[in-house]
Structure 1
Amino acid sequence: MEEAERITKDGRQTADHLCVLIHGLWGNPGHLTYLASSLRDKHSAEKLHILVSETNSDTFTYDGIDLGAERVTQEIENYIQDLEKAGSEIRKLSIVGYSLGGLVARYTIGLLYSKGWFERIKPVNFTTFATPHLGVKTPLLGVQYKVFNFLGSRTLSTSGRQLFTVDTFRNTNRPILSVLADPGSIFMLALARFSHRVLYANIINDRSAPYYTTSISATDPYTNLDAISINYLPDYAPNIINPIDPIHLKPPGIQPSFFARLSSSSQSLLTSVPVFALFSVLIPIGSVVFLINSGVQQVRSQKRIRLHEEGKAGVGLGSYRIPLMVENARSAMEGAFENINARQGQQYLPEPASNEDREAEISDGLQQNGHAEEKHHSASRTSSDLERSSSRRSGFPTLALTTQQFEMIRALDEVGFRKYRVHISAVRHTHAAIIVRSQKPSFDEGKMVVRHWLNEEFEI
C-alpha cells in the first residue's frame, strides 16, 4: 500500500492528501469543473481528496480577499474535520487558485499557518493560474488608463480597491497586496513552506489579468511577437514556453512580409471597430447599467462585510483575526510604500546597449524559479534602483509600475515560483481558456496547460 493510502474504520482505502481549488472574481465552482475533473481522472479518490470551494460564489467575491479567505479557511477546516470523523486523516495539503482565487489562496495559507495546521499537515503544491499577484492597476500612461484605474477601483467594492491597491488594510496603513508580499508576514512564511510553488501566466490576450502581474514581472517581452522567436517545451508546443530558454530576438533585418503586415493591420482595425462602437454607442447605455449594478452590489457587499465583522455571518471571526506579522516583525521596506500613487504616472523605458546584450540577458531575466539576483541587497532600496535592476536582468524596458509593485516582485521572487508562460492563440479570451473555464472548442489549448500541470508539476 502506498503512503498516500489509508484505511478507514470500515476498511475502505482513502487518501491523506487534500487539494483545494479556489475560483476567481465573479466566479463559481462551475468555472473549475475541467480542472477538478482532470485532477480526479489523474488521481483517484484513494489518492486525493478534492475540495472545490463554494463559499465565495458570484458577487460574494466583491467582499475582499481577506474576508473571502476567512470563509475558505473555515470551509477547509470543516472539510478536514468531516474527513477525520469518517476516519480519514489529512497529512498533505495542496491549494490551487485561479485569478483572484490565487490571492485568496495566499491569504488562506497564512491563516492556516498561523493556526498551526502546517505543523500537522505538509504543504505540498501551491499553484496559481492567471492570478494578478501585483494587482491590476494599469501601468500605462494616458487619460483612458487613469479613468480605467479610477473606475475599476471603485466599482468592485472592497475587492476592487484591493486589486487596484488603493485600500488601506486594517492597521497596517498599507494595501493588502503589499502585506501579502511582506517577508515578515504569515502569508510569505506559509508560502515558503510549500514544496512546489508554480504559476501559469498568459503572455497575450488576458484582458482580466495581464502578463506582468500574473507572471510577477517588471517587463513584458511579449508585446511584439513578430520581434521574437518563442521556444516551447517539446511535449507541450505550441502552448507552454520553455522556462529556461523562453525566447530569442529575431535579427533586426528580418521583417514581417507585406501580407503578414497587412493581416496584422487588418486585425488591428477590426479589433478597433468594437472599441469605437463601445465609445460611441454602448458606453452611454452600458455604463449606466454597469454603474447602477455596481452600486447595488457594493451596498450588498458592505452589508455582508458588516455582518461578517459583527460575527453574524456564520464565520468564527475571532479564529481568523490573528497577528499578520510573526512576532510583530515589520519589514524595512515598509517606508517604500509611501506616496505610492504619486509614482503611478512614470514610465521607465531604458534602451539596452545592443541587440546582443538583450539576447544574452533574456534567459536570465525569465528564469523558471523567478529568484531575484539581489537577494542580499538592502530592502530599503529606492524604486529607481529596483527599476534599473529589473531592466538589467531582462534586457527589456521596465514597465511603469509603482514602488509597491517593484517591492512585491522582489519579495515574491525571493521566495521563488516556477513560472510557466502560456501562449494561447486560438481565442482572444485567454483568461478563461487557461483553465478551460467552460467546454468551448476554442478553449482546447487550455487542456494542454492543465495536462502540463498534472504531468509535470503536481506532486501527489
Structure 2
Amino acid sequence: MEEYSGGSVEAEHLCVLVHGLWGNPNHMLNIAKAVRAQYPRDQLYLLVAKRNSGSFTYDGIELGGERVCLEIEEELDLIRSRGGNITKLSIVGYSLGGLVARYAIGLLYARGVLDKLECMSFTAFASPFLGVRTPLRGLANRLFNVLGARTLCMSGRQLFGIDQFRDTGKPLLAVLADPNSIFMCGLARFKRRTLYSNIVNDRSATYYTTSIVKSDPYADLSKVQVRFLSGYEDVILDPVNPVAPAPPQTKSEPLTAWAGRWVRRVPIVLALSLFIPLGMVAFLVNSAVQTVRSARRVKLHESGLAGVPVDEFRRLDLWIRDIREAVEHTYENLNSAQDQEYLLVDGSSSGDEPDTEVEARSENTLVGQSACTGDGEEAVAKDDESDASAADREILALERKESRTHHDGSFPTLALAPYQFAAIQALDSLGWRKYPVWIHKHRHSHAAIIVRTDKKGFEEGNLVLKHWVTEEFLA
C-alpha cells in the first residue's frame, strides 16, 4: 500500500480512502492502484485511513468518524509542514466506511476545515446508508434484525437502527440524514456524489440500502431485462434506464429441470444444516469477546486516552441551525436467506391520515432541506415536542398512499422503517449518480465490487474501478 499512498508537495488534491467493517487498509489496495494509475503523485495525494483497522470498526460510526477526521486533519497539517498546499478534497468509502466517512465529513464541516477546501468527489461502494435492517415484519423482524443488531457491538446497533444517538432520541442513521445536521451540510459541499451498488449476492449490504431506494427491481431477475452501460457491458447497468419488463416466456420450465435444480441443492442444504449451528456458536462467542474489547476501547476513547481529542469533537453542535464485509459470514448467510417484504397497501392501517395533513408534513421536510444551501432563514425548524409515533405513522401513510397510486407495473415499496423512508427523501435531495453493478463470476459481490483481494472471480470489479476513476472521479 505504501507504494500507492502519499504524494508529493506539488499535489493540490487529497483523496481519502476509508475501509469497511472488520477491514484494514489493504482492502482498499486495488482502489488505490486504480487512482494512482490515473493520477501521479504530483497531482494527487492519497491517504488510506488506518485508525479503524480490524476490530476497531466494531466501536461505532461516531468513534470511527472521529478517528478518520483526526487522520485527515493530521495529514493536512503534515503536508503543510512539508511545504505542500492541499486545495481540493475527495473521499471514498467502502461498505461501513461510507457511513464513517459521512460522519467525518460532518465534523470537518463543523470545524471549518471544508471552508478552506474545494470538495470534489464523494464516492461510496456498497455502503449501507439506510442500515442493514432486512425489510421484514412481525416475528421475522425481531429475530433477524433485533437479534442481529446485538452481535456487532455498537456498530451493529447503529447499522440496525436500534440505537439512540446522544440526546437526539433518534438512531444515528437518522441524524446522519437529518437535513439540518452538519453531516448533510458537509455532504452537500461536494460537487459530485456517486454510488456503486450490487444488485445481487451482496450478503452484507443489499441493493435498497446501498442505492438509497425504497424498492428493489432486481429481487427477481427473471422478471426484468437489464440494460448495460455502453462500454461496461455485463457489469455496470445503465443508470438512467437499468431495467425493462422481461419478454413473456412461451415455454414453461420442464419438470425434470425443476427437479434437477432442487436435487443439486440438497448437498448445500445438508451442509448448511450442519455448519450454520456450529458457525452461529462460534459467531456468538466471537461477538461476546469483541463486545468486551470494544467496550474497553470506547472507554479509553471517551476518556481521551486513545489519542483522539474527544472534547473538541463532542463540543460541536450537530445541528446547522444552531451553529450557522460488513457483517460476518454466518450472519450474512442467515440474513440473505430471508425474502424482503413490502408495505401493505390495502388502506386498512390505522396510520392512514387525511391527504392534506400528510402532504403538509412531506412539504415541510423538503423545505427544511434548504438549510444546507444557504437558505437557513426559511428552513422549517425541527419540532422537538412532536409525537414521534404520530410522525412515523404519517410517513408510513404517505408511503402507502404512493404505493397505491403505482398501477403502471412499477416495483412495490419495501417494508422499511419510517426513519429509512425519511432518510431516502433527504439524501436524494442532494443529488446522486447511482450505478447498479452486476457481479456474475463470484457470489461474494460485496468484496468483488472493489476487488477487495486479488481473488479469482473478483476481476469484474476492475471494470467498476475503471469506470469510477475515468468517468466519475473529479480531479
TM-score over 0.5 for the alignment? yes
Native 8 Å contact 2:92 2:123 kept in 1: yes
Q: Deviations over 1:309-339 (max 9, x none)?
A: 111111011221111011339xxxxxxxxxx
The letter for the 1-side match of 2:288 is G
User: Do the aligned partners of residues 405 and 121 (structure 1) sit closer, same or farther apart at CA in structure 2, a change above 3 Å counting?
Assistant: same
Q: Which residue of the other structure, out of 452, 455, 458, is the alignment partner of 1:443?
A: 458
Partner of 2:285 in structure 1?
A: 292
Partner of 2:131 in structure 1?
A: 135
User: Do the aligned partners of residues 262 and 377 (structure 1) sit closer, same or farther apart at CA in structure 2, a change above 3 Å counting?
Assistant: farther
Q: Deviations over 1:167-192 (max 9, x none)?
A: 01001011000000000000000111
Q: Which residue of the other structure, out of 432, 447, 450, is the alignment partner of 1:432?
A: 447
Partner of 2:343 in structure 1?
A: 348
Q: Which residue of the other structure, out of 308, 315, 323, is the alignment partner of 1:315?
A: 308
Number of equivalent positions:
412
2:260, 2:167 → 1: CA distance? 52
Matches within 5 A, 1:146-225: 146-225=142-221
Q: Name the SS for the 2:213 alignment partner.
A: coil
Q: CA deviation at 1:243?
A: 1.0
The letter for the 1-side match of 2:395 is T
Unpaired segments ≥5 residues, structure 2: 1-6, 324-339, 347-358, 366-390
Native 8 Å contact 1:125 1:194 kept in 2: yes
Partner of 1:405 in structure 2?
A: 420
Q: Which residue of the other structure, out of 24, 28, 31, is the alignment partner of 1:28?
A: 24
Q: CA deviation at 1:455?
A: 1.1
Q: Which residue of the other structure, out of 228, 235, 254, is the alignment partner of 2:224?
A: 228
Native 8 Å contact 2:20 2:57 kept in 1: yes
Task: Confirm or deny that 1:90 pairs with 2:86.
Answer: yes
Native 8 Å contact 1:391 1:397 kept in 2: no
Native 8 Å contact 2:202 2:445 kept in 1: yes
Q: Deviations over 1:4-23 (max 9, x none)?
A: xxxx9xxx762110000000
User: Do the aligned partners of residues 84 and 256 (structure 1) sit closer, same or farther apart at CA in structure 2, a change above 3 Å counting?
Assistant: farther
Native 8 Å contact 2:395 2:421 kept in 1: no
The letter for the 1-side match of 2:17 is L
Native 8 Å contact 2:227 2:241 kept in 1: yes
Task: Confirm or deny that 1:306 pairs with 2:302.
Answer: no
Identity within the alignment, %: 48
Q: Which residue of the other structure, out of 410, 413, 432, is the alignment partner of 1:417?
A: 432
Q: CA deviation at 1:146?
A: 3.3
Partner of 2:57 in structure 1?
A: 61
Partner of 2:44 in structure 1?
A: 48
The letter for the 1-side match of 2:57 is T
Q: Deviations over 1:379-426 (max 9, x none)?
A: 365322034436757811111101111001000111111111011111
Native 8 Å contact 2:9 2:85 kept in 1: no
The letter for the 1-side match of 2:343 is Y
CA-based RMSD of the aligned residues comes to 2.6
Partner of 1:332 in structure 2?
A: none
Q: Deviations over 1:110-168 (max 9, x none)?
A: 00000001111111100000000000111034745532212211111000000000001
TM-score by length of 2: 0.81
